[in-house]
Amino acid sequence: MPLYRDQAIVLRTQKLGEADRIATLLTRANGKVRAVAKGVRRTSSRFGARLEPFSHVDLQLATGRTLDVVTQAETMAPYGEAIATDYARYTAGTAMLETAERLVAEEMEPAVQQYLLLVGGLRVLASGERDPGLVLDSFLLRSLAISGYAPTFDACARCGEPGPHRSFSAGAGGMLCSSCRIPGTASPTPETVELLGALLTGDWSTAETIDPRFRKAASGIVAAYLQWHLERSLRSLVHVER
């Protein structure tokens, strides 16, 4: 079997047979890869503990007929230890892994920007330097932007009228001016909109100076925006399979 090396974040693992696991990986060079890790559920396994969710690993894989096989695994950064011991970090990190798996839909299609964003996000999350909720929301907005769904938090999403504006619509792609406003839009406060814009661009010095009481409203907007796009992508996938 031909061998190849790659670096990866472990997104998810599932049991396979008596002693094996299937690991879903987001790799640097090959995008999403599902690979069999043989014997990793035995206590004598050489690399079992290295292939846990959140782990940043350097791998050697063998190309298989259906699934590739992990033949070597070296830990680059065991983010799982620092993330799993803190509830807020763990819930934020789990949502990051799930979103990365959903937004990188196709296997074996390079998604290097998504990979680098996830590595950077998990590193910050594990370090405990920043609020886990802000790390998550920034990751979600930037991950959606990489996927082609960048929201606008300044100019009107429909006509381009310079902001700031008062209405947000997930379906329209961001803020709407008073002329373009449609029924059912949210009306976030100016501070919430400023926070969202800072999280999208990774402007931490602005994001962290905005009063923390606006974080919950910003999270609600991010969740609604993510939900809207994931449901649409799911529907389009169902459509393709028919």
Of 57, 73, 92, 156, the residue at the interface with Zn ion (CB under 5 A) is 156
159 near Zn ion, judged by CB under 5 A: yes
- Please tell me the distance from the alpha carbon of residue 132 to that of residue 90, in angstroms, as a whole number: 9
What are 46's two structure tokens? 């050489």
Contact (CB, 8 A) for 19 and 41: yes
Binding range to Zn ion, per CB under 5 A, among 27-35, 129-137, 139-147, 150-158: 150-158
CB of 67 to Zn ion, least distance (A): 49
Binding range to Zn ion, per CB under 5 A, among 57-65, 158-166, 199-207, 231-239: 158-166
CB of 19 to Zn ion, least distance (A): 59
Of 103, 126, 144, 177, the residue at the interface with Zn ion (CB under 5 A) is 177
- Please tell me the distance from the alpha carbon of residue 229 to that of residue 215, in angstroms, as a whole number: 21
- Please tell me the distance from the alpha carbon of residue 71 to that of residue 67, in angstroms, as a whole number: 13
**Closer to Zn ion by Cβ: residue 156 or 193:** 156
SS3 153: coil
With CA atoms as reference, report the closest residue to 104 among 197, 178, 12: 12
172 near Zn ion, judged by CB under 5 A: no
Binding range to Zn ion, per CB under 5 A, among 46-54, 116-124, 170-178, 219-227: 170-178
181 near Zn ion, judged by CB under 5 A: no
Of 21, 50, 56, 158, the residue at the interface with Zn ion (CB under 5 A) is 158
Q: Is the bond preceding residue 78 a cis peptide, omega within 30 degrees?
A: no
157 near Zn ion, judged by CB under 5 A: no
HEC readout, 204-219: HHHHCCCCHHHHHHHH
Binding range to Zn ion, per CB under 5 A, among 14-22, 38-46, 76-84, 179-187: 179-187
Q: Is the dihedral of CA 17, 21, 26, 31 positive or negative?
A: negative
CB of 197 to Zn ion, least distance (A): 17
**Closer to Zn ion by Cβ: residue 169 or 192:** 169
* Range 207-214, long-range pairs (CB < 8 A, 24+ positions): 207/134, 207/138, 208/130, 208/131, 208/134, 212/131, 214/189
126 near Zn ion, judged by CB under 5 A: no
**Residues that bind Zn ion in the complex, under the rule CB under 5 A:** 156, 158-159, 161, 177, 180
